Structure 1
Amino acid sequence: MSDLVRAALAGEATPRPPYAFWTHFPDTDLDPDAIARETVAFARATRQDFVKSMPNGLYAVEDWGIRADFSDIARGGVAKVTASPIAAPEDWARVTRRDPASGALGRELRHLSLLVEALGPGVPVLATVFSPVTTAKKLSGGAFAAHAASHPAPVRAALDEIAATTAAFAARAIALGCAGVFFAVQDATATRGAAAWRELGLDHDLAALDGARGGWFNAVHMHGDDIAFDLLATYPVHALNWHVGETPPGIAEYRAAGGRRAVLGGLRRAAITARDMAAVDADIAAALSADGGRGVLLAPGCVIRHPVDAGMLRRIAERIRGEA
């Protein structure tokens, strides 16, 4: 399967597109051994060609002292920060570099090492990491934007520390066998503009991604329906993931504009949750219509929210494999 993934990333013709699915496991994702077992079972049940890690979405900020509520995830919601160490601008001085081998980061590295060991070299594993600005926003809630505007120096200094921590974590993940990182950017919007992101986020993103330079399968996730696509598509990664079918561009549009990066995505998660096989079939056909389907790795544009129908995912896998 690794050869299939590598060929798709290189834009070569493949007998079928490689694929993967991802969701959350709220009952087990604070236990590295339990979530590794559940992820491996999930991957094998759906015969995935690669695996994106599915940690709780706040693992990257836990070590800076937040408190969180994860109860909404099982109902289709998201984790929430209930208490933050950042209340005033001077609190950003508390955000200093963390050791990726300890605390919640160390817990996540154990999870990743167990995945790599259990799945073996034939199934590439992507470590989920977050843009430093995304991490800072999760850490501080609504305070981030106000502090970045009124006191940019301490916020930028904190972002430097977050980027260094993220880079060190990514390097450790790749050293233990991950194929690359799934770099989630949740705040680079077209409305704010590329210039605004260059001012605040770009340098820190690139510094964080530098830790993943040893990976052969790095992807950027452009979150939301107002993405600064033209800027994020230039990031030094091997594949682009966005909410294809929910926000422009479409894959064919991206290819027509000269875009050559591999596309990781194409499946609308709402169609999966609704068990709408006709819509999923349409998504697959649209994803594979450009350039004969070269350079496409089928996956959801974002996390498939609960409730997740495992039978539906198996049906989609059969369709992609040409078995149904």
Structure 2
Amino acid sequence: MHSTVHHKTPQRFAQFTLDFHRTYDPDFVKVMYDWNYDTPVNFQFVQEPSVWQELEEFDPTIGAFGRQVEALKIIRDSVGPDVPLIQTVFSPFHVAYRLAHRRVLQDLRDDPQLVLDGMRVIAHNYIRFGELCRREAGVDGFFFGAWGCESGWLSRADYTDLVMPLDRMVIDTLRAAEIVVLHIHGEEGSYFELLEHYPCDAISWEDRLSGPSVAEARTKTEKCLMGGINHVAAVTAGAEALQREAREAITASGGVKFVLAPGCTFFNQTPQQNILALKQAVGG
């Protein structure tokens, strides 16, 4: 879940994460990143291509990245060394979208080099952030949130040529950690087959909304699969329906190299009993 108002300080954000972990006792602690991306002073929302040139590399020990690392330290100290700690990292294209919304697509068509130069700056900042997370907070892995890997955003060729190289640049450095999970965000038909080109251990995707199904994905990759639960339906579905969904996904996976999880983060209004029902479905 996203922390919403709880991320005002590292301490409050850490407590929100720890409360979730203690309530539901998942197999690992997957830590959200809910701060805004730090931009230069007086930086304006991208309204013309030249603004991409204003992005700067910065010290990851201060600002939002620094606050996140402080929260990670608190979480690590609380859960101890034996619980896997996985930090969320967003793709450079995801951050570019946050800074420009769908205008980034037009800029990629009109002035691709300006956008790519800005995204490269973002990538370098995330590389240093990842190194800091490992060195200072002892994280065990990263959850890399890819963006644009679907037909509703970019063509297959544009995604491959414009987005994947910078994604790979970041992930190649994150690979120094023990675990790297690749998450595909989107509901409009993902380019799932392209994910084989990412150096990750597991693939997380919205199988119930965008496909492929867990069974089909098992035929496409030997990587560990993470999914099976419709995070949108989990808000209103009954506990028994969610448990059936969980058992179906486990069966479809063959029961190996599979992590039962929502296709994307649970909404904050998801009933507690629904999440607990999923834990019961796997014998927890």
- In the other structure, the counterpart of 2:219 is 256
- Equivalence for 2:49: 89
- 1:250 Cα deviation after fit: 1.1
1:158-183: CA deviations, max 9, x gaps?
Answer: 11111111111112212221111111
Residues 219 and 241, structure 1, Cα contact 8 Å, conserved in 2: yes
Residue 55 of structure 1 deviates from its aligned partner by 2.9
1:62 aligns with 2:31: no
CA RMSD of aligned residues (A): 1.9
- Are residue 292 (structure 1) and residue 254 (structure 2) matched? yes
SS of corresponding position for 2:61: coil
Alignment of 1:72-87 (within 5 A): 84-87=44-47
| Superposed displacement of residue 219, structure 1 | 0.6
Deviations 1:215-259 (A, max 9, x none): 1111111011221111124311111000122221111112234x2
Taking the aligned partners of 2:11 and 2:126, their CA distance within structure 1 comes to 22
| Paired position in structure 1 for 2:265 | 303
**d(CA) in 2 for partners of 1:207, 1:255:** 27
The structure-2 alpha-carbon separation of the partners of 1:291 and 1:37, relative to structure 1 and needing over 3 Å to count, comes to closer
| Alpha-carbon separation, structure 2, partners of 1:65 and 1:107 | 18
Structure 1 residue 184 corresponds to structure 2 residue 145 = yes
Compared CA separation, residues 43 and 32, structure 1 to 2 (3 A): same
The one of the two structures with greater contact order (alpha-carbon pairs below 8 A, sep at least 6) is 1
Distance in 2 separating the partners of 1:29 and 1:55: 9
1:271–1:279 CA contact under 8 A, matched in 2: no
Q: Distance in 1 between matches of 2:174 and 2:203?
A: 15
Q: Equivalent residue for 1:161?
A: 121
1:247 corresponds to: 210
CA distance in 2, matches of 1:104, 1:63: 10
Correspondences of 1:35-184 after superposition (within 5 Å): 35-56=13-34, 58-59=35-36, 61-64=37-40, 84-175=44-135, 176-184=137-145
The answer on whether the counterparts of 2:235 and 2:267 sit within 8 Å (CA) in structure 1 is yes
Pairs aligned (count): 281
TM-score using structure 2 length: 0.92
* C-alpha spacing 1:143/1:64, structure 2 compared with 1 (3 Å): farther
Give the structure 1 partner of residue 185 of structure 2. 223
Question: 1:70 maps to what in 2?
Answer: none
Instruction: Give 3-state SS (helix, strand or coil) of 2:122's partner.
Output: helix
Displacement over 4 Å in runs of 4+: none
* Pair 65,313 (structure 1): closer, same or farther in 2 beyond 3 Å: farther
Three-state SS of the structure 2 residue aligned to 1:265 is strand
* 2:264 alignment partner AA: C
- Give yes or no for the alignment of 1:200 onto 2:176: no
Distance of 1:84 and 1:232 partners within structure 2:
34
SS of 1:298 mapped into structure 2:
strand
Q: Return 5+ residue gaps in structure 1 as ranges.
A: 1-22, 67-82
> 1:180-209: per-residue Cα shift (whole Å, max 9, x none)?
111111212135332111221011101111
- Contact 1:193 / 1:228 at 8 angstroms: preserved in 2? no
Distance 1:250 1:106, change over 3 A: same
CA contact (8 A) 2:30 2:87 kept: yes
Judged with a 3 Å threshold, the aligned counterparts in structure 2 of structure 1 residues 266 and 139 are, in CA distance, closer, same or farther, namely same
TM-score normalised by structure 1 residue count:
0.81
**Contact 1:171–1:212 (CA under 8 A) maintained in structure 2:** yes
Percent same amino acid among aligned pairs? 26
Using a 3 Å threshold, how does the CA distance of structure 1 residues 217 and 163 change in structure 2: closer, same or farther?
A: same
What secondary structure, in the 3-state scheme, does the structure 2 residue paired with 1:220 have? Answer: strand
Instruction: Output the CA distance in 1 between the equivalents of 2:116 and 2:7.
Output: 31
